[in-house]
Each structure stands twice: as C-alpha cells, then as structure tokens.
Amino acid sequence: MKNILIINSGSSSLKFQLIKMPSEEVMASGLVERIGQESGKVHYKSEKFSTSEEMHVEDHSVALKEVTKYLMHTENGVINDPADIPAIGHRVVHGGASFSDTIIINEQVKSKIKELFSLAPLHNPPNLKGIEVAEEIFPKAQQVAVFDTAFHQTIPSRANRYAIPNDFFEKEHIQVYGFHGTSHKYVSEKANELLGKKTTKLVTVHLGNGCSMTAVMDGQSVDHTLGFGPVNGLIMGTRSGDIDQSVIFYMIEQLGYSAQEVSDLLHHKSGMLGLTGYSDLRDIEDQAEKGNRECQLALEMNAYRIKKYIGAYAAVMNGLDAIVFTAGIGENSNVIRKMVCNDMDFLGVSLNEKENDIRSKENRLISSENSRVKVYVIPTNEELEIAKQTLNMIS
C-alpha cells in the first residue's frame, strides 16, 4: 500500500486528498481557500477528525504546510512523517502539444509547464507553484504531473485543427487542446465497465461551472467541445460557449470595447450569469419554477446546446451506446438531464423519469428498459484518477 497525495492548486486555493493505493481509501481530504487574502480558511477532514479554521494564509507554501500539520497531527493525524508519502500527483491544466501522458516531474518538465503559461494564464502558474511548494515540503516524494489536456491528444487532425493558415498550427501550435480530460477519462472507463465492453461509442457530458462534452470511441477521445481555450462549446456558469466571431469584431470595432474587455465579458460575465443574473444553476432552476422567463429560456438554451452536440457526436462516431452525465450539475440536476434527453427517441434515448429524479452519489442508470442508448449518471472522481495514474508512474 502506498499513500498518494493529490494536489489541485488554484490561483487562490489548494485542494487535496491523501489516498491509500491501490485500495482507494481516502485517508484525508480538504481545501485551503482565499490564499493571499485577508481571511483564509482551511477545511480538513479524515475519519478521526474534521475542522474548518479561519486564518490568514499568506501563500501556497503556508497552505501546504497547514495541510501537512493536520496530516501529521500527533493525536488526529494519518501519517507520522513526510516520508510516509512516496508520491504526489499534481493536476496541471494545460500540457499543450508537449505532454500527451502523465509524467514524473523534473526541471525540464517544470520549465515546459512555465512555457505554457500563456495558454492557461489562470491555471498553469498556480499549478507550477503547487509543484514547487510540494518539492520543498516533501523532498523525498516523487512529483507526478497529470495533465487535463492529455486525454484529448488522441483527437484526430480533422477534428483538432482550425481552418486558418497552416503557419498558426505549425509555428504557434494553435489547435484544439480540450480540458476536463481527467474527468472524461474516468467516467468513460466507468461507463465501459457498466456496459461490460471496451469497444463503445460514448458521449460524456461534464457539467459544472465549466462545461464540456467529449466523443469517446473505444476508450479514446475523438472530439471535444472546448478548444484552444476553455470558453468554447456549451453555455457555462459565466462563459459564453460558442459565439459567432463577428460578434467579437463588432464589439471591438463598432461598440468601442477593448480586446481585454471582450475577453473578460465572454469569460466572466456571460453564460448563465449573462442570461439570468445568476451563475448558480440551483438559483436559476428555482427562479424558472417561479415563472422567471429569462431563467426558463436560459435552461432551454443550455439543454439545446448539449442536445445539439450529442447529435453531432453520434454522427461523427456513426452510432452511440451511452450518454454519461457527470460533475456538479450533471450529477445533481434532474431538470437539465430531463430537458436534454426529452424528444430524442429518434436516437434511441428514453429516460426513466423516476430514476432520473433520485439523488444519489452512486453510479446509476437513468434510461428506461427499452432505451437503445443507455443514459448514466456517473460521479466524477478526478482525484482518484490522478492517484491511479501517479501509482502507475512509480510502481
């Protein structure tokens, strides 16, 4: 048995899980939030002990030291020494064209992650910071990078290239990279287990504040809704999803917006927030039920976009075995799932509404017995997927 520490380092947060592998036992988990702000918070949970403590957390180094203090607490801790953790798996959002698989981190890898800052300016810098801090606190542990983009490296050229001059691809590496790869990989493998076969045609639907869909054929990503950046495709909490490029030019040339202002608008002020004034889907569903027409329309638009991509991906794969809903909204919103799956009988999709209405953290089938296409809800577990890949690297 090996203790694998999983770190997901954000710009002002640090999520962690300590997982005993290969038994998959979660020994401890938690979150440090509002790092660098006046009032931070440390959340820690284990079988023995749980707490939420407010404190000033100056930087990521302080955050991980606080986590380590809880992990090694004399009475309530789960390890005795930093050396009890032989490996640390880090979520790194963007691997560009450089990383198609999980990799043991060395100076060259860190240098390459730094080179990719421009492709993921909100994510890769704190990801690298988490790596550097972990090296300092756990000097004997092997550091492993698991890239969000890696699963999508199998997307063929016909699907991952943009129809712009070739120089932009060859010299600037502008192409579809895709995101949420760890989640799509995990749930597609679980779906294959439930279907009892590996040669499958799946559409995995990751719905959270950020949203994406993947066409997964025989275990490999063959198309994906997000592209060069994380704003394309589906309507998200604050991101627009697909938009006609002419709208962007019009905003800049005719309405006087700067490129930065348009970028900020499409990333942070659009999506469900722009349509309704709310970014949390629970608020939107609640308002829609009370008759708020803006919220009703936003839900219809959201479901329509998902449905449209399901049809497109069924076409490119020449068939469909299952649709898989995952992540916060995908796992919990029976409203969105019902709106997506209704009126898709031509594709062989028939929902069991009673099963769809059940709230559960278990993998479950929500399609009816006569549904030719299975519909599953499979809770994602990116941390466990990272732990599995990290264990494979050090075994």
The answer to whether the annotation marks 256 as part of a ligand binding site is: no
The answer to whether the annotation marks 178 as part of a ligand binding site is: no
The answer to whether the annotation marks 321 as part of a ligand binding site is: no
Give the separation between CA 245 and CA 116, rounded to whole angstroms.
Answer: 25
Query: Is the CB of residue 375 less than 8 Å from the CB of residue 349?
Result: yes
DSSP state of 118: G
Closest CA to 189 of 206, 202, 208: 202
The answer to whether the annotation marks 208 as part of a ligand binding site is: yes
Cα dihedral 187, 190, 194, 200 in deg (nearest 10): 70
The answer to whether the annotation marks 293 as part of a ligand binding site is: no
**Strand 211-217, strand 220-224: pairing:** antiparallel
The answer to whether the annotation marks 229 as part of a ligand binding site is: no
Q: Which of 59, 101, 148, 223 is catalytic?
A: 148
Q: Helix 293-317 crosses helix 334-341 at what angle (to 10 degrees)? A: 50
**Maximum separation of any 2 CA atoms in the chain, in Å:** 65
Alpha carbon 41 to its chain's center: 23
The answer to whether the annotation marks 330 as part of a ligand binding site is: yes
The answer to whether the annotation marks 331 as part of a ligand binding site is: yes
Give the separation between CA 164 and CA 161, rounded to whole angstroms.
Answer: 9
The answer to whether the annotation marks 91 as part of a ligand binding site is: yes
The answer to whether the annotation marks 207 as part of a ligand binding site is: yes
The answer to whether the annotation marks 385 as part of a ligand binding site is: no
The answer to whether the annotation marks 370 as part of a ligand binding site is: no
The answer to whether the annotation marks 77 as part of a ligand binding site is: no
Number of C-alpha atoms within 13 angstroms, CB side, residue 182?
A: 24
The answer to whether the annotation marks 8 as part of a ligand binding site is: yes
For 241-248, which contacts have Cβ atoms below 8 Å and span 24 or more sequence positions? 241/211, 241/271, 241/305, 242/305
The answer to whether the annotation marks 382 as part of a ligand binding site is: yes
The answer to whether the annotation marks 15 as part of a ligand binding site is: yes
Instruction: List CB contacts of 335: < 8 A, sequence separation 6 or more.
Output: 285, 299
Known catalytic residue at 148? yes
Structure tokens at 137: 């606190």
DSSP state of 269: S
The answer to whether the annotation marks 332 as part of a ligand binding site is: yes
Look at phi and psi of residue 104 and say left if phi exceeds 0, alpha if psi is from -120 to 50, else beta. Answer: beta
Catalytic residue list: 148
Q: Give the residue ranges of the annotated binding site for ATP.
A: 15, 206-210, 280-282, 328-332
Q: Give the residue ranges of the annotated binding site for Mg(2+).
A: 8, 382
Q: Give the residue ranges of the annotated binding site.
A: 8, 15, 91, 206-210, 280-282, 328-332, 382
Q: Give the residue ranges of the annotated binding site for substrate.
A: 91
